Amino acid sequence: MSPVVIARVSGLVVAGLGVASCVLARSLPAQTGFGLGPAFLPFWTGIVLAACGLWLCARPTVDPEVSWPTSRGFARAASGFVLLLLYALALQPLGYLISTAVFLVVGILLLEARRARALVIGIASAAFLFLIFRVWLRIPLPGGFLGW
């Protein structure tokens, strides 16, 4: 397949994912008692995805300076998708705090090799996000087996 066809097919897939996200977000509550509801982020993310997909389809040509990544680059991208899937699956049983900390630590390790920095930044970021959502915004988060 030519790079132009690949770009067009990729654009259709991304646009389809964006439309699916918008449609599925409509089944979530748009507002809650304290403001925006859980439908806000997936809906607007779907809008942005659909716009990016349509842009990929409408581009006149493919940039000749852009090259395919190496197999290592594909492996890193695939591991990022797998990590995101595992995070979504682990959110309910492990709870928000533990699953987010593990997700951030492993995600940072995928980007850089410094283990100490990844551990500190991942755990601190997860704790900070937990405080923002649970304490300040009072949004109920999955508690997991610890209950918090």
The ranges assigned to domains in the chain are 1-67, 70-148
What is the reported pTM?
0.62
Comparison of pLDDT for 57 and 3, the residue scoring more: 57
**Between 71 and 147, residue with greater pLDDT:** 71
* pLDDT interval class at 35 (50, 70, 90): low
pLDDT of residue 33: 63
DSSP string, the chain: --HHHHHHHHHHHHHHHHHHHHHHHTTS-SEETTEE-TTHHHHHHHHHHHHHHHHHHH-SS--TT--PPPHHHHHHHHHHHHHHHHHHHHHHHH-HHHHHHHHHHHHHHHH---HHHHHHHHHHHHHHHHIIIIIIS------GGGT-
Percent residues over pLDDT 90 in the chain: 40
Q: How confident is the model at residue 70 (pLDDT cuts 50, 70, 90)?
A: confident
For residue 62, pLDDT beyond 80 = no
Q: pLDDT digit string (tens) for 84-133?
A: 899 989 988 999 999 999 999 999 998 887 899 999 999 999 999 999 98
Is 70 exceeded by the pLDDT of residue 42? yes
Res 63 pLDDT > 80 = no
